[in-house]
Structure 1
Amino acid sequence: MNRTILIVDDEERMRLLMEAYLKKEGMKTVLAENGKDALDKFGKHEVDLVVLDIMMPLMDGWTVCRKLREISNVPIIMLRSRAEDEDQLLGFQLGTDSYVTKPVSPSILVARIKALLKRAYSDEENGEKN
């Protein structure tokens, strides 16, 4: 699966851990440490899915999600250290495709990413372009 995943998290350890697991699955990664960096890199790279932390400096994940939805239908998985219903509802209202509470097993996160990619790009993989 040769897809590019944008990993947006202000914790370097989390970015590097997710990157290691995704690369092991044959995926490319682009790393961003805050929301502004994420939007800049999204514009410069062909990204197939975004893993987006909510609590970050400069620009939070809610704002990034909103801005991404203005320009793209790329699948988005939001990460949050809280699991309140209101947060999850807001994420889905903004257009996120999945919501994951930290701490998350990297293996489970990779499985979610693979499932979302398969659904989002199944036509392409069958020879059709979206």
Structure 2
Amino acid sequence: MDGFTYHGSCLCEGISFNIRGQPEKVFMCYCSDCQKNAGAPYQICAKFDKDQVETLEKEAQIGNWIVRQTVSGAEKHKRFCTRCGCTLWTVPMNHGGEKFIVRTALLEGGLETLRPAAEFFAPCKPSYVTSPEGTKPFARMPGY
């Protein structure tokens, strides 16, 4: 793991966090959960090990909502700020809670420095959305 640290926060900045090192992968997701959560055609996310993420405030401000009906059959825990409602990350339980899927827009410079390499649930992508050059489309999320 390199010495680089990303700093991020929720919309109201009531919860801030640091992420040490680089993500395992960066991707765009067009699944209906991501579309609804983003209020947009997709979310850009980065997958980190749980141990890379350090919250700088009390955990009491972080809420949890569980998505039970998923493609993988395993729950997804959506962690969010209880004050502004901003989703911080998703914890996919098919990884035993050891991975955090973080929205790159929450990280300072994240949309520029964390370029997606893949598009998940690509068949759900609206026809007016153009794929970034070099991204690889997948019909589902690999590993499901």
| TM > 0.5 fold call | no
Higher relative contact order (CA 8 A, sep 6+): 2
TM-score by length of 1: 0.29
Give 1 or 2: higher strand fraction.
2
Give 1 or 2: higher helix fraction.
1
Pair member with larger Rg = 2
TM-score by length of 2: 0.27
